[in-house]
A and B are shown apart, each in its own frame.
Chain A
Amino acid sequence: MKQKRPINLNLLTIRQPVPAIASILHRISGVILFLLLPLFIWMLSESLGSEFSFNALQKSLSFWGFKLLLWVALSALAYHLVAGIRHLIMDLGVCESLPCARMASYFTLIISAILAISLGVWLC
Chain B
Amino acid sequence: MLRSVTSLTRSGLRDWLVQRITAIVLAGYVIFLVGFFMLNQPMSFGLWTALFQNGFMRIFTFLALLSMVYHTWVGMWTVLTDYINCPRFRLLLVIVIVLSLFSYLAWAVAIVWGLR
Q: Residues on A close to B: CB < 8 A? A: 27, 30-31, 33-34, 37-38, 41, 44-45, 47-49, 51, 54-55, 77, 81, 84-85, 87-88, 91
User: Chain A binding site: helix, strand, loop or mixed by DSSP?
Assistant: helix
27 residue pairs bridging A and B, Cβ less than 8 Å apart: A27-B79, A30-B72, A30-B76, A30-B79, A31-B76, A33-B72, A34-B75, A34-B97, A37-B101, A37-B104, A41-B108, A41-B111, A44-B108, A44-B112, A45-B107, A45-B111, A47-B45, A48-B48, A48-B49, A48-B111, A48-B112, A51-B45, A54-B45, A81-B27, A81-B30, A84-B23, A88-B20
B72 to chain A, nearest CB (A): 5
* A-B pairs with beta carbons under 8 A, tally: 53
Q: Identify the B interface with A (CB < 8 A).
A: 20, 23-24, 27, 30-31, 45, 48-49, 52, 68, 72, 75-76, 79, 97, 100-101, 104, 107-108, 111-112, 115
How close is A43's CB to chain B, nearest CB, in angstroms? 10
Residues in A with CB closer than 8 Å to B79 are 27, 30-31
Min distance, Cβ B50 to any Cβ of chain A, angstroms: 11
Q: Nearest chain B CB to A106's CB is how many angstroms away?
A: 21
